[in-house]
């Protein structure tokens, strides 16, 4: 790789980091982020777990999977349409960096958010549920790759050519809730009917839940390496429609 | 020398709507180039294509010799963009907005703070550097937006409607800054519907109407090419009604427009019209308070080429026609 290309790569990484840090400072404390990213997973957890005889370890694994899922996916659908509406997104699109760099910066925002809120969830699990983490390495890898996958899923919705966050929140929330109920979060995979399990395997949340089960309970239904590979691959795949939709937005003029 | 901008056959359709219709033009290095047109003429669409924010349907764009369709990266490094809306981050302070942009454009680490300070001082925002931009007035946000666009010292600066809604002091300050940047070597491309702005700032002006370039030249040459929109402006000691005074029937008058307490009579031959106006005053027992001949203004040219009706459209900062007449009030 030539010196020029290495310099360009360094510049692009620095620019992705700059975008991510700016978004953290500007958007993390916005009501939309707090509602959909921070409070939602805890509400959902308590709604479906309290008084249902859920074991401590099982509850913590579920809480972690839901936290990563909701929190990582909250940034994209909120931030990008908001920036398009107020015109600040043009500043980013006109800057000397590739579209992929911009999208990776935006992905990092959701990923950091999920990692931070997962830390809170983990702490709550350790303190209040007295849960043990049996495989800490797997837990860290699962949180990081799960956060990446769900951040790019959120980014995909944020990339829809619209300037109204409301246009994006509705389909994104519908899909996320749908995934939540088919992904073995509330009904374990082993207890699902074959048809339901086949649907569950299509959802990346299934793999995130399974890897959390491995890390906290010490057992899961899928090979943990496969869980991690699916999370990484789905994260990359979700970037592709985001790129296409940005290119479409440039044609449409959004 | 390579042109700052070369546009060839540029076209943009929004589905079936033709917004920009096969336009071609060049902007030389060091020019202040005005893109003048009424709302909806295609100005902003053109500028968004020039700044990579919009994909053309057809045609080519070279920025400093770099083809935007092939590799926009080197062109983007040389561009500064001030969009119509002041797109500053209101949650960040003026200082943080500038530092963010400096990092985004890879301004060397050692120069960022120095440049940010210089710009904040130049724009009169240094004292407010720690204040979040949400507490800024419209004019202050505009100045901050411009500072953010030039922190990387772009060779080519795009400004989309830089001054509407600003007070006269802010407008003058922004014009002065544009002139100064241009004097230091920055090429400036301004889209505006404000005729006085184009007249005051631009070396050359393109007038765009319905997606096509209707005229392109220096402001003075554009005016000179439109001799038919010269006029005689007269004020009598009694105010005249717009219609029925008989002035519009004087030989040589093509159009009559009432402007405040004066009558403006458009003609191709002002010198022939002057004696007829004085005869009219004598015959109607009127005393002439002021009498001037006016050269065509850029507004007249603009209205002529865009198909507007002279005297009907009034702009926020109406250009004063070039006066070359005798006596009377100025």
Residue A204's contacts (CB-CB under 8 Å, 6 or more residues apart) are A146, A149, A150, A153, A179, A230, A231, A234
What burial letters (b/e) apply to A213-242, b meaning 16+ CB within 10 Å?
bbbbbeebbbebeebbebbbebbeebbebb
Q: What is the tally of structural domains in chain A?
A: 1
Q: Which residues of chain B have a pLDDT value below 50?
A: 309-330
Q: B250-284: per-residue pLDDT in tens?
A: 998 988 888 888 999 988 888 899 999 999 999 99
B55 contacts in chain A (CB < 8 Å): 247, 250-251
Task: Give me the domains of chain B, ranges plus CATH numbers.
Answer: 5-217 (3.40.50.300), 224-306 (3.30.70.980)
Higher pLDDT pick, A246 / B227: A246
Tokens of B17: 């709507």
Give mean pLDDT, residues A34-49: 69
Closest Cβ opposite residue A91 in set B45, B52, B87: B87
- For residue A215, pLDDT beyond 90: yes
- pLDDT (tens digit per residue) in A63-105: 899 899 989 988 888 899 999 998 999 999 999 999 999 999 9
Closest by CA to B77, choosing from B89, B91, B66, B69, is: B66
The radius of gyration computed from the CA coordinates of chain A, to the nearest angstrom, equals 18
pLDDT (0 to 100) of residue B188: 97
Query: Following DSSP, what letter does each residue of B151-199 receive, concatenated?
Result: TT--SEEEEES-STT--HHHHHHHHHHHHHHHHTT-EEEEEES-HHHHH
**Confidence bin at A139 (pLDDT 50/70/90):** very high
Confidence (pLDDT) at B37: 85
Instruction: Find the helix packing angle between A75-86 and A165-182, rounded to 10°.
Output: 170
Residue B18 touches partner A, C-beta closer than 8 Å: no
> Would residue A188 be called left, alpha or beta, if left means φ above 0 and alpha means ψ between -120 and 50 degrees?
beta
Cα separation, B238 vs B221, whole angstroms: 37
The closest of B7, B28, B2, B8 to B186, measured between CA atoms, is B28
Range of the domain at A182: 3-252
pLDDT at B328: 32
Cβ of B51 under 8 Å from any chain A Cβ?
yes
Confidence of residue A50 (pLDDT cuts 50, 70, 90): low
Least confident of A48-62, A154-168, B72-86: A48-62
* pTM of the model as a whole: 0.82
Q: In this predicted structure, what is the pLDDT of residue A168?
A: 87
What per-residue confidence (pLDDT) applies to B174?
A: 87
A155 versus B254: the higher-pLDDT residue is A155
Chain B positions in Cβ-Cβ contact with residue A94 (cut-off 8 Å): 51-53, 76, 79, 81
Contact A11 B45 (CB under 8 A): no
- Looking at every residue in chain B, the average pLDDT score rounds to 87
| pLDDT reported for residue B325 | 38
Size of interface A-B (CB pairs under 8 A): 68
Is a pLDDT exceeding 50 seen at residue A131? yes
pLDDT at A54: 65
Contact check, Cβ <8 Å, A86/B101: no
A184 has pLDDT over 60? yes
User: A167 falls in which pLDDT band (50, 70, 90)?
Assistant: confident
Q: What is residue A31's predicted lDDT score, i.e. its pLDDT?
A: 76
Please tell me the predicted confidence (pLDDT) of residue B327. 32
Task: Report, in this order, helix, strand and coil percent for chain B, each rounded to 5.
Answer: 35, 30, 35
pLDDT band for position A241 (cuts 50, 70, 90): very high
* Interface contact A11-B81, CB threshold 8 A: no
pLDDT at res. A240: 96
The pLDDT of residue B275 is 92
DSSP for residue B246 = S
**Distance, CA of B190 to CA of B187 (rounded, Å):** 10
Chain B residue with Cα closest to A101: B104
pLDDT recorded at residue B314? 36
**What is the value of ipTM here, to two decimals?**
0.87
Greater confidence (A111 vs A49) lies with A111
Retrieve residue B243's tokens.
């219609």
Q: A26, B48: Cβ pair inside 8 Å? A: no
């Amino acid at each position: 790789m030539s010196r020029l290309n290495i310099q360009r790569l360094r510049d692009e990484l620095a620019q992705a980091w700059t975008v991510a840090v700016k978004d953290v400072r500007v958007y993390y404390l916005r009501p939309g982020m707090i509602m959909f990213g921070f409070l939602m997973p805890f509400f959902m957890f308590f709604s479906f777990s309290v008084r249902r005889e859920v074991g401590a370890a099982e509850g913590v694994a579920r809480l972690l999977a839901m936290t990563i899922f909701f929190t990582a996916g909250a940034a994209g659908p909120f931030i990008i349409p908001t920036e398009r509406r107020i015109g600040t997104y043009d500043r980013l699109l006109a800057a000397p960096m590739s579209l992929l760099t911009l999208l990776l910066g935006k992905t990092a925002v959701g990923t950091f958010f999920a990692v931070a809120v997962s830390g809170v969830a983990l702490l709550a699990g350790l303190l209040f549920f007295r849960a043990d983490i049996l495989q800490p390495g797997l837990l860290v890898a699962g949180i990081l790759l799960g956060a990446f996958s769900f951040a790019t899923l959120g980014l995909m919705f944020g990339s829809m050519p619209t300037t109204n966050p409301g246009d994006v929140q509705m389909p994104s929330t519908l899909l996320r809730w749908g995934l939540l109920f088919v992904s073995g979060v509330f009904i374990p995979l082993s207890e699902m009917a074959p048809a339901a399990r086949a649907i569950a395997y299509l959802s990346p949340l299934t793999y995130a839940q399974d890897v959390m089960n491995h890390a906290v309970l010490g057992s899961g239904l899928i090979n943990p390496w496969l869980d991690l590979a699916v999370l990484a691959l789905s994260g990359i795949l979700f970037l592709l429609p985001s790129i296409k939709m940005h290119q479409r937005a440039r044609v449409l003029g959004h | 020398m390579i042109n700052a901008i070369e546009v060839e056959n540029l076209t943009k359709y929004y589905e079936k709507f033709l917004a920009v219709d096969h336009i071609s033009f060049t902007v030389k290095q060091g020019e202040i180039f005005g893109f003048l047109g009424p709302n909806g003429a295609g100005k902003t669409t053109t500028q968004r294509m020039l700044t990579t924010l919009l994909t053309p349907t057809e045609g080519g764009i070279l920025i400093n010799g770099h083809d935007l369709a092939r590799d926009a990266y080197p062109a983007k490094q040389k561009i500064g963009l001030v969009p119509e809306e002041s797109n500053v981050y209101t949650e960040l302070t003026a200082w943080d907005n500038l530092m963010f942009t400096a990092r985004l454009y890879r301004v060397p680490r050692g120069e960022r703070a120095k440049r940010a300070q210089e710009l904040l001082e130049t724009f009169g925002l240094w004292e407010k550097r720690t204040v979040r931009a949400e507490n800024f007035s419209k004019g202050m946000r505009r100045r901050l937006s411009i500072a953010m666009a030039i922190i990387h010292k772009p060779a080519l600066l795009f400004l989309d409607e830089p001054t509407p809604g600003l007070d006269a002091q802010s407008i003058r300050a922004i014009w002065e800054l544009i002139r100064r940047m241009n004097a230091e070597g920055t090429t400036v491309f301004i889209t505006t519907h404000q005729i006085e702005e184009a007249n005051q700032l631009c070396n050359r002006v393109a007038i765009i109407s319905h997606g096509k370039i209707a005229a392109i030249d220096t402001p003075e040459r554009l005016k000179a090419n439109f001799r038919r929109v010269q006029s005689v402006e007269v004020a009598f000691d009694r105010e005249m009604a717009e219609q029925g005074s008989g002035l519009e029937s004087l030989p040589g008058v093509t159009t009559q427009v009432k402007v405040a307490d004066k009558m403006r009579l458009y003609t191709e031959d002002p010198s022939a019209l002057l004696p007829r106006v004085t005869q009219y005053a004598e015959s109607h027992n009127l005393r002439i308070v002021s009498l001037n001949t006016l050269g065509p203004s850029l507004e007249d040219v603009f209205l002529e080429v865009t198909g507007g009706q002279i005297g009907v459209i009034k702009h926020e900062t109406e250009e004063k026609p070039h006066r070359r007449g005798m006596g009377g009030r100025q």
